[in-house]
Amino acid sequence: MTQRNTMIGHTVLWHPEADRDVGPRPALVTGPEFAHPDGLLHMTVFREHATSLATQRNVRHIDDPVLETHPRMKIPGGWDFVKKRKPLAQKPEPAGAKH
């Protein structure tokens, strides 16, 4: 299972209702402490335009076939690995600025 490649503190992408067409949100893996046989993860999700974090438990990997055969399993969302990391943009220096 893909869960063995993740650890507590890793950044993953969380897809609401396990829908790839909905923009994913960044999330931090918070558990479980021991690997779950079904590859479920617990995470803290950084919600868009929210002032607080959301906790999601028992989230399956977005490619888990159980999500297709059991639609109720999509309720906690689906997670995926962060494939590319994007550095923060640097503020351009004003013209003629000296170091």
pTM of the model: 0.77
Residue 85, class by beta-carbon neighbours within 10 Å (0-12 exposed, 13-18 middle, 19+ buried)? exposed
Residue 83 has a pLDDT of 81
Residue 33 has a pLDDT of 82
Residue 51 has a pLDDT of 77
Confidence band, pLDDT 50/70/90 cuts, at residue 2 = low
Distances (CA, A) of 73 to 5, 62, 78, 83, 87: 22, 11, 9, 24, 33
